[in-house]
Amino acid sequence: MQHLGAQLRRVEPGMVEIWLPYSDKVTQQQNGFHGGAMGALADIAGGYAGLTVAEPGMEVVTAEYKINFLGAYQSGTLRAVGRVLKPGRRLIVTTADVTHVDDAGKESPCALMQQTLVPVPKTY
């Protein structure tokens, strides 16, 4: 996400906020934000939110996620807020709301994701 220009804006227990500005690195053929970029942003926001509640010595991997795309945008910034719905030792369930923020600061729904994470031991 660093290559794409994503910015980690806020981290709290069970919640992470990441912003992704519009650029040619994250667009598709019609010059809108690519669904893959939206999905990656949501996956990472939810994943990092899950990591905030994982036990010490553990990290998380995504087992599955489902995403609904709610709008298409050709400018501005995407804001993803990942939240833990159910922490657990074997599974962590999260959600991420992705909103579009235009140049005037107005927010509009962009995507909604639900995710299942599996805590795994750190290997490094």
**Residue of 64, 68, 116 whose CA lies nearest to 93:** 116
Alpha carbons 54 and 123: distance in angstroms, whole number:
15
Distances (CA, A) of 45 to 53, 88, 103, 112: 13, 18, 22, 12
Say if CB 77 and CB 21 are below 8 A apart: yes
Alpha carbons 80 and 1: distance in angstroms, whole number:
13
First to last CA, the chain: 21
Which pLDDT does position 26 carry in this prediction?
Answer: 94
Question: Which positions of the chain have pLDDT values less than 70?
Answer: none
Domains in the chain and their CATH numbers? 7-121 (3.10.129.10)
Supply the pTM of this predicted model: 0.95
Which pLDDT does position 123 carry in this prediction?
Answer: 86
For residue 107, the one-letter residue type is E
Which pLDDT does position 17 carry in this prediction?
Answer: 98
Which pLDDT does position 1 carry in this prediction?
Answer: 81
The three-class DSSP label of residue 30 is coil
9 contacts: CB under 8 Å, gap ≥ 6: 17, 18, 19
